[in-house]
């Protein structure tokens, strides 16, 4: 009798432990979001000249690219531009970055993850405080939003119609960054759906850092080592312990 009771207790304990683990995993996905923001000195965008090609030097050319649907179904470089456009390398300027990842699951599954990335490049080192206008010469402000699980499906990308960025150095390690930007958005895949305008009015406390300290998620990739998924999908510390 005691043996049967002991076996029952063990079996019930195993079932309860398994159910508890599944609930913990599921809840961890529900709260799975991750923000990264930084100010990288001596940095620039890897695809700086491509950004200029797409918008800065010739807005008419950008409008033409947006409207040429038939050429964009097979343009993989353009489809992935919402991801690759945020890649960072060493340079003479400053890169302000905001990276947001939000995972929205169904029961016991991870159904979809969405990334939002903002990159702001200025061709100089930031002072103690100041304002960066979106139309300032040499400045690139770029945003994208898309699926972390299906990066090849394209994304919404955009440049600001108007706006500005205020910055103030709090101490030797942090900046207070205030974003007031209005983006016109376009789909990188031939117009499957229209992207809504994006309005950003946010304040961030950002760490001062260098390119070498940034991760692929931030935009610092090593070619032939880091996959495209490492740039659009991150994990919380809890996920890293489990998986």
Q: What is the pLDDT of residues 102-121, one digit of tens each?
A: 766 544 444 567 889 999 99
Q: What is the pLDDT of residues 26-73, one digit of tens each?
A: 555 544 445 789 999 999 998 876 775 555 444 444 445 445 444 444
What whole-number distance in Å separates Cα of residue 156 and Cα of residue 154?
7
Q: What is the pLDDT of residues 185-234, one digit of tens each?
A: 888 775 556 788 999 999 999 999 999 999 999 999 887 777 888 888 76
Averaged confidence pLDDT in the chain: 78
Tell me, yes or no, if the pTM score tops 0.85. no
Which candidate, 38, 185, 18, 21, places its Cα nearest to that of 99? 38
Predicted local distance difference test score (pLDDT) of residue 192: 56
**In this model, does residue 163 exceed pLDDT 80?**
yes
Residue with tokens 């009771």: 5
Measure CA 29 to chain center: 18
Mean pLDDT of 175-181: 95
**CB of 41 within 8 A of CB of 94?**
yes
Contacting residues for 208 by C-beta, under 8 A, at least 6 apart: 38, 39, 41, 172, 173, 174, 175
Burial of 119 (0-12, 13-18, 19+ CB in 10 A): buried
Burial of 185 (0-12, 13-18, 19+ CB in 10 A): middle
**CB of 36 within 8 A of CB of 73?**
no
What whole-number distance in Å separates Cα of residue 85 and Cα of residue 94?
16
Percent of the chain predicted with pLDDT > 70: 72
More confident residue, 166 or 191: 166
More confident residue, 127 or 242: 127
């Amino acid at each position: 009798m005691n043996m049967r009771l002991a076996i029952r207790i063990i079996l019930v304990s195993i079932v309860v432990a398994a159910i508890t683990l599944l609930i913990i995993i599921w809840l961890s996905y529900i709260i799975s979001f991750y923000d990264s923001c930084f100010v990288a000195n001596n940095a620039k965008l890897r695809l700086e000249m491509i950004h200029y090609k797409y918008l800065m030097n010739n807005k008419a050319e950008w409008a033409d690219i947006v409207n040429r649907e038939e050429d964009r179904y097979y343009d993989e470089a353009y489809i992935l531009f919402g991801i690759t456009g945020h890649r960072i390398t060493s340079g003479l300027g400053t890169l302000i970055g905001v990276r947001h990842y939000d995972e929205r699951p169904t029961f016991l599954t991870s159904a979809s993850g969405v990334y939002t990335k903002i990159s702001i490049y200025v061709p100089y080192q930031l002072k103690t405080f100041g304002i960066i206008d979106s139309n300032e010469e040499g400045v690139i402000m770029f945003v994208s939003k898309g699926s972390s699980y299906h990066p090849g499906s394209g994304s919404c990308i955009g440049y600001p119609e108007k706006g500005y960025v205020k910055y103030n150095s709090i101490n030797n390690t942090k900046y207070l960054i205030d974003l007031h930007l209005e983006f016109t958005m376009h789909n990188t895949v031939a117009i499957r759906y229209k992207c809504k305008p994006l309005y950003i009015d946010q304040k961030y406390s950002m760490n001062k850092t260098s390119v070498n300290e940034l991760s692929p998620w931030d935009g610092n990739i090593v070619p032939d080592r880091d996959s495209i998924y490492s740039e659009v999908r991150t994990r919380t510390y809890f996920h890293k312990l489990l998986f």
